[in-house]
Amino acid sequence: MNPSSDLVNRLWRECAVLRKDGVTYMQYVTELTYLLFLKMCSEQKDESRIPESYRWEAIRTAGETEVLTRYKQLLIDLGDGTKIADRSIVAIFNNASTVIRTPANLRKLIAAIDDLHWFTAERDAFGDAYEGLLQKMAEETKRGAGQYFTPRVLINMIVGLMKPRAGEIIQDPAAGTGGFLIAADQYMRDQTDDYHDLLDSPRKITFQLKQAIRGLENVSDTFRLLLMNLHLHRIDPDYLDLNDTLSPTGQQAAFKNANLILTNPPFGPAGSPPTRDDLTVTDRVSSYQLPFVEHVIRALALGGRAAVIVPDNVLFDDGRGRLLRQMLMERCDLHTILRLPTGIFYAQGVKTNVLFFTRSQEEAPTEAATQAVWIYDLRTGAPAYGKTNPIGDKDFADFVQAFGDDPLGRSARTDQGETGRFRRFTREDLAARNDNLDITWLKAESADPDDGLTDPDDIAAAIETHLVFALEEVRGLVEELEREAPLAALEEVEA
* Predicted TM-score of the model (pTM): 0.84
- The pLDDT tens digits for 359-375 are 999 988 888 999 999 99
Is it true that 3-131 and 142-462 share their CATH fold? Answer: no
Residue type, 431: A
Q: What pLDDT sits at residue 145? A: 41
- The pLDDT tens digits for 24-68 are 777 888 888 898 889 888 877 888 889 999 999 999 999 988 999
Q: Where does the pLDDT of residue 1 fall: very low under 50, low under 70, confident under 90, or very high at 90 and above?
A: very low
Average pLDDT taken over every residue of the chain: 84
Residue 260's SS3 state is: strand
Does residue 487 have a pLDDT over 50? no
Q: What pLDDT sits at residue 436? A: 97
- The pLDDT tens digits for 138-167 are 766 654 444 547 888 999 999 999 999 999
| Helical spans, DSSP H, in 119-267 | 123-140, 152-162, 179-191, 202-210, 220-232
Domain boundaries, the chain: 3-131, 142-462
What is the C-alpha to C-alpha distance for residues 471 and 309, in angstroms, rounded to an integer? 21
Q: List, in sequence order, every residue forming a beta bridge with 334; answer none if it has no partner.
A: 357
Q: How far is CA 460 from CA 184, 452, 487, in A?
A: 34, 13, 42
The burial class, CB within 10 Å (0-12 / 13-18 / 19+), for 495 is exposed
Structure letter (DSSP) for residue 264:
-
CATH 3.40.50.150 fits 142-462, yes or no: yes
Q: Where does the pLDDT of residue 192 fall: very low under 50, low under 70, confident under 90, or very high at 90 and above?
A: very high
Instruction: Give the length of the chain.
Output: 495
What superfamily in CATH does domain 3-131 come from? Answer: N6 adenine-specific DNA methyltransferase, N-terminal domain (1.20.1260.30)
What is the C-alpha to C-alpha distance for residues 3 and 298, in angstroms, rounded to an integer? 42
Q: Where does the pLDDT of residue 486 fall: very low under 50, low under 70, confident under 90, or very high at 90 and above?
A: low
Q: Where does the pLDDT of residue 125 fall: very low under 50, low under 70, confident under 90, or very high at 90 and above?
A: low
Helix, strand and coil percent figures for the chain, each rounded to 5: 50, 10, 40
What is the C-alpha to C-alpha distance for residues 493 and 487, in angstroms, rounded to an integer? 10
Extract the runs of DSSP E, i.e. beta strands, from 365-445: 372-377, 422-426
Packed helices 3-13 and 123-140: angle between N→C axes, nearest 10 degrees: 50
Question: 321: part of which helix (H) or strand (E)?
Answer: helix 320-331
